[in-house]
Amino acid sequence: MSGSARGDERRSASGLVRERVYGPASRHDPEALPEPGRFPFTRGLYETGYRGRLWTMRQYAGFGSAAESNRRYRYLLEQGTSGLSVAFDLPTQIGYDSDDPRAIGEVGRVGVAICSLEDMEQLLEGIPLERVSTSMTINATAAILMALYLAVARRRAVAPEALSGTVQNDILKEYVARGTWIHPPGPSLRLVCDLVAH
């Protein structure tokens, strides 16, 4: 049986000895880089990388309604997914409610429609927010969707510090490539920066 099969992290599956962390000292490099897990995180967020904490496995998904998407997310979590990646429909991405005449034909087509706190609660029903990392692919309305997410957590008495995940929050991409922006660049950048500061 190899060393790694016995749980010995000092040996690879091939039985080769490996260091806990490789860095400048391993290469006798005179220019020291910061250690992994330390600011500015140029060598990763965690000291031992994915050996100490597995990556989050997500599948990008969003289906029509909050209830349909919730069923999918719960299924994915039962199958071993460790995080959610929420796909929103176009009206949600540009701040339209599903009953807005400008949203006709687009509601729930490329993701889930979220118009209210009740929709977000239904989307996350039965999902332990303090144990599941949630990624939301949203830009122009990122602050709004994040606020709804935080409101659901608050209603469940889950502290903000217990939550993990991210929002895409990349408004510049919308001007350059995609086009789902709402406000002019100045106010949009301010909103994006305010969300980062929060």
Q: What is the pLDDT of residue 2?
A: 43
pLDDT, average across residues 89-95: 95
Question: 4 near 12, Cβ under 8 Å?
Answer: yes
pLDDT band, residue 31 (cuts 50/70/90) = low
CA–CA gap between residue 105 and residue 90 (Å, rounded): 10
Is the pLDDT reported for residue 189 higher than 70? yes
Q: What is the pLDDT of residue 32?
A: 66
Mean confidence (pLDDT) of the chain: 88
41 exposed, middle or buried (CB, 10 Å; 0-12, 13-18, 19+)? exposed
- Nearest partner of 134 among 109, 168, 94, 110, judged by Cα: 168
Question: For the segment 117-130, what is each residue's pLDDT rounded down to a tens digit?
Answer: 999 999 999 999 99
pLDDT, average across residues 85-114: 95
Is the pLDDT reported for residue 3 higher than 50? no
Q: What is the pLDDT of residue 114?
A: 97
The residue to which tokens 């929060």 are assigned: 198
Q: What is the pLDDT of residue 57?
A: 80
pLDDT band, residue 45 (cuts 50/70/90) = confident
> What whole-number percentage of the chain has pLDDT above 90?
65
pLDDT, average across residues 7-28: 71
Q: What is the pLDDT of residue 23?
A: 67
Question: Which is more confident, 7 or 10?
Answer: 10
Q: What is the pLDDT of residue 24?
A: 61
Q: What is the pLDDT of residue 34?
A: 76
Q: What is the pLDDT of residue 36?
A: 84
CA–CA gap between residue 89 and residue 141 (Å, rounded): 12
Question: 113 near 119, Cβ under 8 Å?
Answer: yes
Q: pTM, whole model, 2 decimals?
A: 0.77
Sign of the torsion formed by the C-alpha atoms of 169, 196, 72 and 125? negative
